[in-house]
Amino acid sequence: MKAHKKRKTEVDTGMVTATLKRVIAENGRDHIRGYAFAIACLIVVAGSTAFTAWIMESVVNEAFANKRADLVVLICGSIFAVFVLRGFAGYGQAVALAKIGNNIVARYQRRLYTHLMSLSVGFFSEARSARLAAQISQNVSGIRDVLNLTVTSTARDLLTLVALIGVMISKDWVLSLIVFAVAPPLIYALRYVSRRLRTATKEAIEVNSHVLGAMQETVQGIAIVKAFTMEQQLDNKVQSIIATAEKRANRIARLSERTSPLTESFAGLSIASVLAYAAFRSIYDNVPPGAFFSFVTALLMAYDPARRLAKLQVQIERAVVNARMIYALLDLQPQQREVADAADLVVTEARVELKNVSFAYGDGAAILKGVDIVAEGGKTTALVGPSGAGKSTIIALIPRFYDPTEGAILIDGQDIAKVTKTSLRRQLAYVSQQPYLFEGSIRDNIRYGRPEATDVEIEDAARLAHAHDFILAQPKGYDTPVGENGITLSGGQRQRLSIARALVRNAPILLLDEATSALDNESEAAVQKALDVAMKDRTVIVVAHRLSTVVKADRIVVMNEGQVMEQGTHEELANRKDGLYARLNNLQASPIEAPATED
């Protein structure tokens, strides 16, 4: 058991050291001038503190014992000058370290955001958004704290303590030995506290992420909460999580503050011993009090840096835990790495082909099983079938949100796994089942489809999506803020803006995953007409549950349980009496007639 604890301690110590080295290696060189200035200021602070203790012997002996009035002005003036210098040095180091710390936090926030954007959709489907938010907001300051604590503790507290110890030894080495005799037990106790705090900090961060997650879910689903009178159930759940978080926070507070009684007891024992020894020497040996006062001043001044250094390991442990959680995110490798010689996708006909494609989410059951589909360039291919057939999964595979476990997807004969994802997605426009809008104006949200789009192109896309009229009815027209995820708009309006965003992209391949599912009948009919125009001369792959939306498709692929069951036109499939499509068609409110052909 002891051997196991020893190995665990060695591993933890090694991880702390490795994290410290990494933080310093990544940030030290960029801020070397700022840290050099801060260290210089801290050296001045340390020197001025030691000087104040050292000069106390002259103050007591020359001013009070020897009554040297000629030296009083010189001594007092030097003390005043040292304090002024110390004040400016303290201000300089505080501002310098704050600027460096703020820059480090901003730098890692940028790195984290850029890195998160490089991770696959699969990562975000598995990770809780609230936990990610908590991990970034709570932990990114850990890297800043690691550096600032290291610099301030080394350059200020350690140098100050060393300088004051030098003063103490120079004034009375016997008294110094008395003080140092009780130090080893304190160091051992602090190491024990820091090890326990490491575990408590990890637990607290985890619980806090659950608190944020529960609150976020409640806010996002408030309509469902109210509709199903879930207030009490969720309140009980959140109260329980908050109580757990409170207990963890209290435990951290108890562990962190245990250093106070330890250091206070150490200081009290040291000062009491020193006073007893010095008092007996002054009483029985007539030793001048100047050296003793200087020693006691140094001892009292050494208390604060010693106390901060005593807490240093505990604080470093907490900061390192936070830093390691940030590095755990930054070290995640994208699951969909591009091949070394990945080329840009070149689109000519925009022909999409799935060859023997199989897919499963993680270790789950297969969603697609040997699917072969060809979507001819410039034509519309519809995917229909019962829920869970794998239709939306196919739409997700084409932009490489996920990669097939078997088989390949080709665009104009080019395997999309061997082209750059950026060039692939530039050739695609995508409308999902759940329209998502971002903070900003209506115009901004449409322009995300193509940043260089002009205002005229944005308005044309809105007209095609049957959105122009309701946009003009908004308080500020196209400049109206949409609120968080378009909260100020209806579901149908959000979907039409999502369609406009896809249309303004002007990509040769259009992916529609239940693009009209959120629209009422009137809006659906209008948008369907607009889509008929927008889909002309484009390769369109559309998923639909309502067969009325795909009746004009050039090719309909009927899927069930991850396999292709039938393929053909609406008329061909509807006339197969034993076919799945025919059964689905008959289950609609009324059978769908084939579109009339023009003479």
- What is the pLDDT averaged over residues 344-368? 90
Burial grade of 70 (CB within 10 A; 0-12, 13-18, 19 or more): exposed
CATH 1.20.1560.10 location in the chain: 15-330
pLDDT digits (tens, 9 = 90+) for 565-585: 999 988 888 888 788 888 887
Question: Pairing mode, if any, of strands 509-513 and 428-431?
Answer: parallel
Whether the Cβ atoms of residue 574 and residue 591 lie closer than 8 Å to each other:
yes
CATH 3.40.50.300 location in the chain: 438-506
Determine the residue type at 426. R
Q: Does the pLDDT of residue 41 top 50, yes or no? A: yes
Of 545 and 447, the one with more pLDDT: 447
How far apart, in whole angstroms, are the C-alpha atoms of residue 58 and residue 53? 10
How far apart, in whole angstroms, are the C-alpha atoms of residue 279 and residue 288? 11
The 3-state DSSP class for residue 181 equals coil
**Which pLDDT does position 65 carry in this prediction?**
63
Q: Does the pLDDT of residue 591 top 50, yes or no? A: no
**Which pLDDT does position 19 carry in this prediction?**
80
**Which pLDDT does position 341 carry in this prediction?**
84
Residue where the block lists tokens 């001048």: 288
- What is the pLDDT averaged over residues 527-545? 78
Burial grade of 424 (CB within 10 A; 0-12, 13-18, 19 or more): buried
- What is the pLDDT averaged over residues 434-447? 87
Q: Phi and psi dihedrals of 407, rounded to 5? A: 85, -170
pLDDT class of 359 with cuts at 50, 70, 90? very high
pTM assigned to the model: 0.68
**Which pLDDT does position 238 carry in this prediction?**
80
Whether the Cβ atoms of residue 386 and residue 579 lie closer than 8 Å to each other:
no
Residue where the block lists tokens 């609406």: 570
Quick one: what percent of the chain has pLDDT higher than 90? 17
Bridge partners, residue 566, by sequence: 558
pLDDT class of 7 with cuts at 50, 70, 90? very low
Per the document, the length of the chain is 599
pLDDT digits (tens, 9 = 90+) for 376-424: 999 999 999 888 889 989 998 999 988 899 999 999 999 999 999 889 9
**Which pLDDT does position 289 carry in this prediction?**
67
- CB burial of 25-52 (b: ≥16 within 10 Å; e: otherwise) equals ebbeeebeebbebbbebbbbbbbbbbbb
Least confident of 138-147, 388-397, 456-465: 138-147
Least confident of 85-99, 109-123, 342-356, 358-372: 109-123
Q: Does the pLDDT of residue 1 top 80, yes or no? A: no
Of 586 and 31, the one with more pLDDT: 31
pLDDT class of 183 with cuts at 50, 70, 90? low
- What is the pLDDT averaged over residues 76-102? 87
Residue where the block lists tokens 């659906």: 524
How far apart, in whole angstroms, are the C-alpha atoms of residue 459 and residue 504? 9
Whether the Cβ atoms of residue 144 and residue 104 lie closer than 8 Å to each other:
yes
Bridge partners, residue 371, by sequence: 357
Least confident of 75-89, 244-258, 365-379, 537-551: 244-258
- What is the pLDDT averaged over residues 149-154? 78
- What is the pLDDT averaged over residues 163-170? 82
**Which pLDDT does position 597 carry in this prediction?**
44
**Which pLDDT does position 419 carry in this prediction?**
92
Least confident of 33-42, 145-154, 439-448, 551-560: 145-154
How far apart, in whole angstroms, are the C-alpha atoms of residue 42 and residue 156? 5
Q: For the domain made up of 438-506, give the CATH fold.
A: Rossmann fold (3.40.50)
How far apart, in whole angstroms, are the C-alpha atoms of residue 512 and residue 507? 13
Where helices occur in 159-288 by DSSP H, the ranges are 159-171, 173-180, 183-220, 222-227, 231-257, 259-285
Q: Does the pLDDT of residue 3 top 60, yes or no? A: no
Where helices occur in 286-433 by DSSP H, the ranges are 289-330, 391-397, 421-426
Q: Does the pLDDT of residue 557 top 90, yes or no? A: yes
Cα–Cα–Cα angle for 543, 548, 551, rounded to 5 degrees: 80
Question: Pairing mode, if any, of strands 555-560 and 380-384?
Answer: parallel
Extract the tokens encoding 572: 């061909």
The domain defined by 15-330 carries CATH number 1.20.1560.10: yes
How far apart, in whole angstroms, are the C-alpha atoms of residue 66 and residue 331? 68
How far apart, in whole angstroms, are the C-alpha atoms of residue 62 and residue 68? 5
Pick from 81-85, 130-134, 152-156 the range whose average pLDDT is largest: 81-85
Q: Does the pLDDT of residue 348 top 80, yes or no? A: yes
Q: Does the pLDDT of residue 111 top 80, yes or no? A: yes
Extract the tokens encoding 134: 């908590």
- CB burial of 489-526 (b: ≥16 within 10 Å; e: otherwise) equals beebbbbbbbbbbbbbbebbbbbbbbbbbbbeeebbeb
Q: Does the pLDDT of residue 149 top 90, yes or no? A: no
Q: What is the number of other CB atoms lying within 10 angstroms of the CB of residue 141?
A: 18
**Which pLDDT does position 592 carry in this prediction?**
46
The 3-state DSSP class for residue 430 equals strand
Q: Does the pLDDT of residue 468 top 50, yes or no? A: yes
Extract the tokens encoding 213: 């997650």
How far apart, in whole angstroms, are the C-alpha atoms of residue 109 and residue 141? 10
Of 245 and 271, the one with more pLDDT: 245
